[in-house]
Chains A and B, each alone.
Chain A
Amino acid sequence: MLPEAINRRTLLKTAFVAGGGLALEAIIPLPAWAREAAPATLSAFVSIAPDGIVTIVSKNPEIGQGIKTSLPMMIAEELDCAWSQVRIEQADVDPKRYGPQVAGGSTATPTNWLPMRQAGAAARAMLIQAAATQWNVGTDEVTTAKGRIFHAGSGRSVGYGEVASKAAGLPVPEVNTLRLKDPQQFTIIGQSVVGIDSPKIVKGKPIFGIDTRLPGMLYAVYEVAPVPGGRLLNADIEAAKSALGVKQVIPLTGNGDADQGLADGVAILATNWWFANQARKQLQVKWDLSAAQGHSNEAYQAKADAAFSAGNGEELRRDGDPSAQLANAVHRVKARYQYPFIAHAPMEPQNCTALYKDGKLELWAPTQAPGGGLNMIQKALGIDPANVTLHLTRMGGGFGRRLLNDFMVQAAAVAKAVPGTPIKLLWSREDDMRRDYYRPGGWHDLEAGVDADGKLRVFTDHLVTFSTDGKPARAADMGVSMIPAGLVEHLRYGRSMIPTVLRTGPLRAPSSNALCFVSQSFLDEVAVAAGSDLPRLMLSLLEGERREIKPLDGRGPPFDTGRARDVIEKVLQTANWSRKPTQSNRAKGFGFYFCHQGYFAEVVEASVTDGNIAVHHVWVAGDVGSQIVNPMGAENQVRGAVIDGLAQALAGQEIKVVEGVVQNSNLHDFPLARIPSTPQIEIAWVKSEKPPTGLGEPALPPVIPALTNAIFAITGHRVRSLPVQLKTA
């Protein structure tokens, strides 16, 4: 037997186990020939080449939140190499190998903070073991730094690359034997690191989903009914078939699931996407639109009014005796708030490239939640996920839109209709605007009572929201633990629902982006009525012993009154808070919220001139735990969230629907923030002792009420409806 053949090199698999721990197990012995000059693979996440170059696999989808850089930073830190040695590879979808692969809910940092560092520490321990064995010294006698192992006793040192292949053959250490660094010793985590793809982006390299090109590929559009759930009655495709550049026109019957399935439609395949898109005008399609009859903004408004007239809705939560307390309140305030459906409008229109061949499907997908897409494909097309290879591409923005994978199932269906031919399905901007899973609109009737000391005694909120199949529509519900629940002794949350056929879904800080506007604007009204201001009212709710309020339903993290108080006090200080207008037309407003495990307090300074609102300055104080992983990326997330929130309020974003047909079509009637309206933004981190949590979302919600409260302070006009419309003076 050849010695080389039995000198097994082992590929180590990293599997996530229940409880968030990490198990490393040896699974695939590679033949000796695979080892020559190849990087040594120490785990699913780490391999090291003989020249010391460390390749780290980044497992999660990248939508601009910076995770492709920050998760590898965690690994590299505990591996104890230099960041300049590191190369990063995007993982394909393989949750058994990598653990959860999703970009949603600001969850990647908290869920991976420990496992990623453990993956780095495990690889480091194996390298140390290999070097110690080679030198015949104890592992406790060697140290590491910047990708080298040192033995102080003998003055010897060796690079990781020189012992990597030996290390790869060693047993993987048990998780409980791993020693993680004291954060004081961090050399990568906490440093500002430029995004790993940034050098490619500034040169226009092909890294986004839409940039995927395969030999022989055709470009596809998929025409669907103008309303959700519309069915294809008949299609005259002859004219489209003979249009310039068109190769095939294929009517497809969906699986009847308008929300999470394949919609009926007509695929047009051409040699250039523009040809395919032009040929849509030649299609003569009759649709059955009856499913969406009666679904219009006006009809929804009438139903909401009726729901409020009918009572307080289904009771979701009652603490104490809100009715009696309202009757006894010194100051009693009542108001109705509302907000519209809005779209995500990521810059990169939805797309997916697919090749179906010999019963196997290969996908190149810009998706935030690949697993959901695989399920949809299985349901709609009967393709087992085991027969699908899914490559993750960088995404031109997500904001929650790409958590739902209708574009992926469409691409798969089109590819399946033309086996052996790769296709790239691309939506137009108009498709993207009209086929969104919208942030649902909603209405709130609120009432509150304050005692003689200015303390909030009672708070009630009746939400009218949307439903599908009798349950709250996706991202349309109100959590029973949403603040100020838990902070006010007497409280009632109620809910009524209006059925909708519109598809709804999470938009950056789902629920919170709307609920924070409502509750923090309303509480500002309450504070003003009591002769106080909102920060003072919030601090009065948070005073006393620092305490953790557990969510009523047991789900989600507790609310820490101390962390809330600390960010509020911090922002009051950085913004030099005063509720008095700084000039006759200029004032500050305040907002606070807790969501996605992050605590954010924000102050907006705005002015109103001839009915025009300008935001000049935003101060942010945030607590997302003990450690900011990548300050450069973190600040960018906060700035983006702040401007995103301001645009929701000020840019005129509102989806309008008539008989199920979305009337908006492009950026002229669904405007996004533009550079001239950019305020100065100052960010202060409040570092608590909790493990780090995510930043994609929690900075967004408070800026909206901070703005609307500033508008009130200037004009005396209370903004109770979004987008903001000032009555002309």
Chain B
Amino acid sequence: MKYQLHINGQMHQVEAPPEMPLLWVLRDELGMVGTKFGCGAGLCGACTVHVNGNAQRSCQTPVGTVRDAKITTIEHIGATPVGAKLQDAWLKVDVMQCGYCQAGQIMSAAALLAHTPRPSVDQINSAMAGNVCRCACYNRIQTAIQMAAGVHEDSNHVA
């Protein structure tokens, strides 16, 4: 099947069977490898992208279901104000160790802040529970999201 996909503000034409997960369209067909493969079963969140602004696991999203939805990936999330703030905060507290899951973490966090601009720690935990960080940078993920939301101004204090 041929698809016209609206990704990061641009149209991309791909040919793939409808059941091919969006993850593998992005990574292997389009070469956009920022979106990561972690479990292939919707359990780790590494492959999180935005579909019409909602965080979605691209490994569980068949390309045939995407249609004309607007897809945003980590490569382009910095173009949104929330995405840029999150990337800044992520660097200020240097959230990451290996960094592999962080694309998915930032995408989930961006969807959270788009809907809940000033989340509590419980709201953060609940929204981010589907994103595994094997290095367990969770204290800093909480701090960075709060910082991006403007509820945690103290950049010297790393929780």
Contacts and interface: CB of A to CB of B under 8 A. Distances in A.
Contacts of B134: 345-347, 397, 399, 672
A27 B30 CA distance: 44
A274 B28 contact: yes
Contacts of B131: 675
Nearest to A344: B134
B24 A272 contact: yes
Contacts of B91: 194, 198-199, 202
B136 A676 contact: no
Contacts of A210: 33, 36-37
Given A202-B87, A429-B39, A667-B44, A219 B78 contact: no
Contacts of B20: 272, 274
Contact of A667 (B36, B39, B90): B39
A37 B145 CA distance: 44
A435 B31 CA distance: 28
The CB with the most chain B CB atoms within 10 A, among A635, A642, A667, is that of A667
B139 interface: yes
B147 to A, nearest CB: 13
A678 interface: yes
B17 A244 contact: yes
Interface stretch (A58-66, A251-259, A438-446): A58-66
Nearest to A204: B34
Nearest to A210: B37
Contact of B99 (A396, A426, A642): A396
The CB with the most chain B CB atoms within 10 A, among A244, A272, A637, is that of A272
Interface string A369-407: 000000000000000000000000011111100000000
Contacts of B29: 272
Contact of A681 (B21, B90, B133, B139): B139
A556 to B, nearest CB: 26
B74 interface: yes
Contacts of A192: 94
A203 B78 contact: yes
Contacts of A273: 24, 27-28, 37
The CB with the most chain A CB atoms within 10 A, among B40, B74, B136, is that of B136
A63 B97 CA distance: 8
B139 A201 contact: no
B121 to A, nearest CB: 9
Interface string B99-143: 111110010000000000000000011101101111111111110
Given A194-B94, A197-B99, A675 B21 contact: no
B87 A272 contact: no
Contact of B41 (A199, A271, A666): A666
Given A347-B100, A666-B39, A198 B94 contact: yes
Contacts of A348: 36, 38, 98, 100
A205 interface: yes
Contacts of A681: 139
B73 interface: yes
A93 B67 CA distance: 45
The CB with the most chain A CB atoms within 10 A, among B36, B37, B78, B129, is that of B37
B50 to A, nearest CB: 13
Interface string B137-155: 1111110000000000000
Nearest to B76: A204
A468 interface: no
Given A206-B34, A396-B99, A674 B132 contact: yes
A347 B101 contact: yes
Interface in B1-50: 16-17, 20-21, 23-24, 27-29, 31-41, 43-44, 46
Contacts of B124: 675
A208 interface: yes
The CB with the most chain B CB atoms within 10 A, among A271, A395, A672, is that of A672
Which range contains the number of B residues in contact with the other chain?
A: 35 or more
The CB with the most chain A CB atoms within 10 A, among B36, B74, B131, is that of B36
A396 B21 CA distance: 22
B102 to A, nearest CB: 5
Contacts, number: 180
Nearest to B31: A213
A668 B43 contact: yes
Interface in A258-272: 271-272
A644 interface: yes
Given A202-B106, A272-B20, A274-B20, A632 B97 contact: no
Contacts of A206: 33-34
B158 interface: yes
B68 interface: no
A673 interface: yes
A675 B142 CA distance: 8
Interface string A396-435: 1111000000000000000000000000001011000000
Contact of B40 (A202, A428, A635): A428
Contacts of B137: 636, 639-640
Given A429-B39, A635-B158, A347 B138 contact: no
A392 B38 CA distance: 20
Contacts of B41: 429, 666-668
Contacts of B140: 636, 639
Nearest to A213: B31
A503 B26 CA distance: 35
B64 to A, nearest CB: 13
Contacts of B97: 64-66, 397, 636-637, 640
Interface in B39-94: 39-41, 43-44, 46, 73-75, 78, 86-87, 90-91, 94
A636 B40 contact: no
Contacts of B98: 63-64, 346-348, 394-398
A344 to B, nearest CB: 9
A103 to B, nearest CB: 11
Interface string A263-289: 000000001111000000000000000
A643 interface: yes
A274 B36 contact: no
The CB with the most chain A CB atoms within 10 A, among B41, B86, B106, is that of B41
23 contacts: A192-B94, A195-B99, A198-B91, A202-B87, A202-B106, A213-B33, A274-B20, A346-B98, A347-B132, A347-B133, A348-B36, A396-B99, A396-B100, A397-B98, A632-B94, A635-B158, A636-B137, A639-B137, A642-B136, A644-B136, A666-B41, A667-B41, A667-B44
Given A202-B78, A210-B36, A349-B37, 14 more contacts: A203-B74, A204-B34, A205-B34, A219-B28, A272-B16, A273-B28, A347-B135, A349-B38, A395-B98, A397-B135, A429-B41, A639-B136, A647-B136, A666-B40
Interface of A: 63-66, 192, 194-195, 197-199, 201-206, 208, 210-211, 213, 219, 244, 271-274, 345-349, 394-399, 426, 428-429, 632-633, 635-637, 639-640, 642-644, 647, 666-668, 672-676, 678, 680-681
Interface of B: 16-17, 20-21, 23-24, 27-29, 31-41, 43-44, 46, 73-75, 78, 86-87, 90-91, 94, 96-103, 106, 124-126, 128-129, 131-142, 158-159
Across the A-B interface, the 10 shortest Cβ-Cβ residue pairs: A204-B34, A64-B98, A396-B100, A204-B74, A643-B136, A64-B97, A274-B24, A201-B99, A678-B138, A272-B28
